[in-house]
């Protein structure tokens, strides 16, 4: 049994921490709001601060929304850094800036501790089913140490490279996901506006070369109008901002990523920042004056 910490117990973090507790590990918990009683009832230990979690744990997991949140949890008052001792490991499973990640890792390394960036893909369903894809950046030694714990939360687990490379991989993932959502949205709006049953069109496409996980899961959401997150549009906007800002720094163009971001922006302007990202289809529906149904 390992002494673990988990900070950030939202839609994704709560089930991920639950898998660690269910496996019999001693897990200390902290989050911005109330700690879910299901986790403490299962044996998790509620802590008052990130520092307290770090003091009680050998490996500390983070799952928070954005780069500033990670920085605050790590280096703010009563943060993780204040509770670390040499030999501990920090694992950030949030999706944040690759550049900032390298800086954070260096500061944690200077304290004699290992750092792994390990963002995930798979959404709420993947978190609940322990079926996440986990993209890691860090040393081979640290990755080998933590991998058995990753296997309690995910199925496709890869060490991509050094610190920051896991986050770079996640940004690439979010580009692909956004563009697939846009493609499925366009196809279903087109089919529905043309008079075809979008549910039957989706079913037919699932058997062909156009088949994808996005068509399977998010296409169904579009047809059934089930836009509760999931993965919120505002979080995907954050990820695409990372893609576009890093692209500018590298001098490359991501034209279709920019288009996907504009569609998310349109949803947000219409009150949809907290809709599931499959609701990108609503921006296209507004332009078509037609709802997929």
Q: How many Cα neighbours within 13 Å face the side chain of 70?
A: 28
User: Do 13 and 63 contact (CB within 8 A), yes or no?
Assistant: yes
Rounded distance between C-alpha atoms, residue 109 and residue 89, angstroms: 9
Contact indicator for 179, 260 with CB cutoff of 8 Å: yes
Q: Which of 45, 88, 170, 282 is catalytic?
A: 170
Pairing assessment for the beta strands 120-121 and 132-137 based on DSSP bridges: antiparallel
CA 62 to chain centre: 11
Residue with token string 């037609």: 290
CA 75 to chain centre: 21
Which distant-in-sequence residues (6+ apart) come within 8 Å of 34 by Cβ?
none
CB 147 within 8 A of CB 116: no
Give the CA radius of gyration of the chain.
20
Give catalytic status of residue 147 as yes or no.
no
Whole-angstrom distance, CA of residue 79 vs CA of residue 130: 28
Q: Which residues does the annotation mark as catalytic?
A: 170
């Amino acid at each position: 049994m390992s002494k673990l910490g988990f900070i950030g117990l939202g839609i994704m973090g709560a089930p991920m921490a639950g898998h660690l507790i269910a496996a019999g590990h001693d897990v200390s918990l902290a989050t911005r709001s109330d700690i879910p009683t299901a986790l403490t009832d299962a044996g998790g230990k509620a802590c008052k601060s990130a520092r307290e979690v770090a003091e009680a744990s050998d490996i500390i997991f983070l799952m928070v929304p954005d780069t500033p949140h990670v920085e605050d949890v790590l280096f703010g008052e009563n943060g993780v850094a204040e509770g670390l001792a040499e030999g501990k490991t920090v694992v950030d499973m949030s999706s944040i800036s690759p550049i900032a990640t390298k800086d954070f890792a260096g500061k944690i390394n200077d304290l004699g501790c290992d750092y792994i960036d390990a963002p995930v893909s798979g959404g709420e369903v993947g978190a609940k089913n322990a079926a996440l894809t986990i993209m890691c950046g860090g040393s081979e030694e640290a990755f080998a140490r933590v991998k058995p714990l990753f296997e309690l939360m995910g199925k496709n687990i890869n060490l991509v490279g050094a610190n920051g490379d896991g986050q770079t991989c996640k940004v690439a993932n979010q580009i692909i996901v956004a563009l697939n959502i846009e493609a499925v949205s366009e196809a279903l709006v087109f089919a529905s506006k043309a008079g075809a049953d979008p549910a039957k069109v989706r079913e037919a496409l699932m058997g062909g070369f156009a088949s994808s996980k996005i068509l399977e899961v998010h296409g169904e959401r579009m047809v059934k109008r089930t836009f509760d997150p999931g993965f919120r549009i505002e979080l995907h906007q954050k990820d695409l901002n990372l893609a576009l800002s890093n692209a500018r720094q590298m001098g490359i163009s991501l034209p279709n990523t920019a288009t996907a971001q504009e569609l998310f922006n349109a949803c947000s302007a219409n009150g949809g920042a907290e809709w599931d990202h499959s609701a990108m289809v609503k921006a296209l529906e507004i332009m078509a004056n037609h709802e997929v149904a």
